[in-house]
């Protein structure tokens, strides 16, 4: 399936149709759908070539063979001749060149980026559209992202392809209930290649058992292998991710569990943040980052699932002695429902004007033992929404109780107390007697469930 990506496709079409030279860096984690996106974008442009790089010493011969299929026989003795061909072709007419996994060229031939830099001074006078696509994020940052990188000041566009949102990932499983769609998302996240692995004719638990918890299955060693490719000192990164997945989310807790000293830990945390695996979280109302209120979470649902259930139980899985505990799985699903699905629901409801604010910031909130699942801020209009999230079925009296508790917690949230307007909300897996409940709700309160979210998709 090719789901969503309308904005990325529109941007690529604009780039490919422009009347000037374009140097585009497109990147994102593996399996997120970058190649499929590029191939979809190229369908409408005849004068284009897609090249897939690898670690082969004969990659120039491979490129020449691919180009020869479309433009007639050609050979490249070196990279100078390759870029000479691009320059010659693009000087006559618009020419689109996509180099996928381009970071391998840098690994095989270190001066490659320098050669590109030099040639771009000539290529930018043509109508070439050169797209460099990469997956190994640590290498991408060295070559193309940020001040001081080789492509800094030369890129015309930088596009990060991100995982699908829940409502888009849900489209892979139209026969599943919304509840099971949340369970799938909690396990696999929004990575299209992983979603394609699950069989919609089987239950979620059956899919987990056969597609993840089975030695030899594609997903069984996936995070393990990707991390080995991404990092050199991989065991330290494994220790950190294992700590966070097990619930040790504060700096000192991670240091203690991973046995990485506090003076060395920031380096590894920073790297995991930079490549998009780990995320540093602070209360959404915080104006300064403070160590005592900072928590870390694994951004990717599948990495989180893997280091919670697969990696620490690999020996038992290999011997066929491990069974996934359904209650523990539901606890994991509940966390993703709170941190990911509820946040998406609030943003969507806000866009559809079913909530009285325009979300500018959103996230969790905690302070001195008090916590609120989700707090959304409308900074322009000084509106604040407090949301309690429950992965369960709620009766009317439970919803009213939760709304009262939220209203009392609002006093502890130090944000524009003099002029703000507060709205309290409950978001649940299912609400009983929903029509009657909504008639009884006090002013500045609301209640939604998964069925309401499904109507927005």
Asked if 47 contacts 96 with a C-beta cutoff of 8 angstroms, the reply is yes
The answer on 299 and 221 residing in a single domain is yes
Q: What is the pLDDT of residue 292?
A: 83
Q: What is the CATH number of the domain that holds 76?
A: 3.40.50.300
Q: Domain end: 294, 310, 331, which one?
A: 331
Which tens digit of pLDDT belongs to each residue from 254-279?
999 999 999 999 999 998 988 889 99
Tokens of 415: 């944000």
Q: Could you tell me if residue 53 is inside a domain?
A: yes
Which tens digit of pLDDT belongs to each residue from 158-193?
899 999 999 999 999 999 999 999 999 999 999 999
Judge whether residue 152 has pLDDT over 90: no
The answer on 74 and 24 residing in a single domain is yes
The answer on 148 and 75 residing in a single domain is yes
**Mean pLDDT value across residues 368-384:** 96
218: Cα within 13 Å, side-chain hemisphere = 10
Q: What is the pLDDT of residue 138?
A: 66
Judge whether residue 147 has pLDDT over 80: no
The answer on 378 and 248 residing in a single domain is no
Which tens digit of pLDDT belongs to each residue from 349-367?
999 999 999 999 999 999 9
The answer on 359 and 322 residing in a single domain is no
Which residues, listed in sequence order, are joined to residue 376 by a DSSP beta bridge? Answer: 362, 385
Q: What is the CATH number of the domain that holds 369?
A: 3.40.1350.10
Q: Could you tell me if residue 208 is inside a domain?
A: yes
The answer on 255 and 145 residing in a single domain is no
Which residues, listed in sequence order, are joined to residue 158 by a DSSP beta bridge? Answer: 25
Gyration radius of the chain over CA positions:
25
Phi/psi class of residue 9: alpha, beta or left (left: φ > 0; alpha: ψ in -120 to 50)? Answer: alpha
Q: Could you tell me if residue 42 is inside a domain?
A: yes
Q: Burial level of 401, CB count in 10 A (0-12/13-18/19+)?
A: middle
Which tens digit of pLDDT belongs to each residue from 209-247?
999 999 999 999 999 998 998 888 899 999 999 999 999
**Mean pLDDT value across residues 186-212:** 96
| CB count in 10 Å sphere of residue 366 | 17
| Band (149; pLDDT cuts 50, 70, 90) | low
Q: What is the pLDDT of residue 151?
A: 74
pTM of the model: 0.91
Which tens digit of pLDDT belongs to each residue from 25-66?
998 888 889 999 999 999 989 999 999 999 999 999 999 999
Q: What is the pLDDT of residue 103?
A: 87
Judge whether residue 327 has pLDDT over 70: yes
Q: Domain end: 296, 331, 366, which one?
A: 331
The answer on 435 and 287 residing in a single domain is no
**Mean pLDDT value across residues 373-387:** 98
Domain extent at residue 72:
6-160
Q: What is the pLDDT of residue 114?
A: 87
Q: Domain end: 331, 349, 365, which one?
A: 331
Q: Could you tell me if residue 24 is inside a domain?
A: yes
Judge whether residue 454 has pLDDT over 90: yes
Strands 22-27 and 295-298, bridge-based pairing: unpaired
Which tens digit of pLDDT belongs to each residue from 61-114?
999 999 999 999 999 999 999 999 999 999 999 999 999 999 889 888 888 888
The answer on 340 and 325 residing in a single domain is no
Q: What is the pLDDT of residue 148?
A: 59
Q: What is the pLDDT of residue 291?
A: 77
The answer on 183 and 128 residing in a single domain is no
Q: What is the CATH number of the domain that holds 291?
A: 1.10.10.10
Q: Could you tell me if residue 1 is inside a domain?
A: no
Average pLDDT, the chain: 93
The answer on 225 and 305 residing in a single domain is yes
- Max distance between CA atoms of the chain, in angstroms, equals 77
* Domains: count for the chain: 3
Q: What is the pLDDT of residue 302?
A: 96
The answer on 288 and 266 residing in a single domain is yes
Opening angle at CA 124, ends 121 and 127, nearest 5: 150
The answer on 184 and 308 residing in a single domain is yes
Q: What is the pLDDT of residue 350?
A: 96
């Amino acid at each position: 399936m090719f789901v969503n990506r309308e904005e990325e496709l529109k941007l690529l079409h604009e780039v490919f149709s422009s009347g000037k030279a374009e140097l585009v860096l497109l990147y994102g984690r593996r399996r997120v759908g970058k190649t499929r996106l590029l191939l979809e974008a190229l369908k409408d442009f005849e004068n284009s070539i897609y090249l897939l790089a690898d670690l082969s010493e004969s990659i120039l011969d491979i490129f020449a063979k691919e180009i020869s299929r479309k433009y007639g026989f050609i050979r490249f003795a070196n990279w100078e001749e390759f870029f000479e061909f691009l320059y010659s072709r693009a000087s006559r007419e618009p020419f689109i060149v996509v180099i996928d996994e381009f970071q391998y060229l840098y690994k095989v031939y270190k001066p490659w980026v320098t050669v590109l830099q030099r040639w771009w001074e000539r290529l930018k006078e043509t109508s070439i559209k050169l797209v460099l696509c990469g997956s190994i994020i640590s290498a991408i940052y060295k070559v193309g992202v940020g001040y001081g990188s080789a492509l800094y000041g030369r890129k015309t566009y930088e596009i990060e392809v991100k995982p699908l949102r829940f409502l888009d990932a849900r489209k892979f499983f139209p026969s599943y209930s919304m509840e099971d769609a949340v369970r799938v998302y909690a396990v696999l996240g929004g990575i299209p290649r992983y979603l394609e692995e699950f069989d919609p004719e089987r239950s979620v638990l059956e899919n987990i058992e056969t597609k993840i918890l089975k030695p030899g299955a594609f997903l069984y060693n996936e995070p393990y292998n990707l991390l080995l490719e991404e990092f050199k000192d991989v065991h330290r990164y494994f220790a950190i991710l294992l700590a966070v997945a097990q619930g040790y989310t504060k700096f000192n807790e991670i240091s203690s569990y991973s046995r990485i000293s506090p003076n060395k830990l920031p380096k590894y945390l920073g790297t995991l943040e930079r490549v998009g695996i780990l995320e540093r979280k602070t209360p959404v109302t915080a104006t300064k980052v403070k160590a005592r209120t900072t928590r870390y979470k694994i951004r990717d649902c599948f990495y989180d699932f893997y280091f919670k259930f697969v990696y620490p139980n690999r020996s038992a899985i290999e011997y066929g002695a491990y069974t996934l505990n359904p209650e523990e799985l539901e606890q994991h699903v509940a966390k993703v429902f709170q941190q990911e699905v509820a946040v998406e629901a609030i943003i969507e409801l806000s866009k559809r004007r079913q909530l009285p604010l325009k979300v500018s910031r959103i996230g969790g909130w905690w302070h001195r033992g008090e916590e609120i699942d989700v707090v959304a801020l409308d900074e322009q209009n000084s509106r604040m929404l407090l949301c309690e999230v429950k992965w369960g079925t709620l009766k009317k009296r439970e919803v009213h109780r939760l709304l009262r508790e939220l209203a009392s917690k609002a006093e502890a949230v130090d944000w524009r107390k003099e002029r703000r307007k507060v709205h309290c909300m409950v978001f649940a897996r299912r609400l009983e007697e929903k029509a009657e409940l909504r008639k009884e709700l006090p002013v500045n309160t609301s209640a939604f469930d998964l069925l309401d979210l499904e109507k927005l998709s």
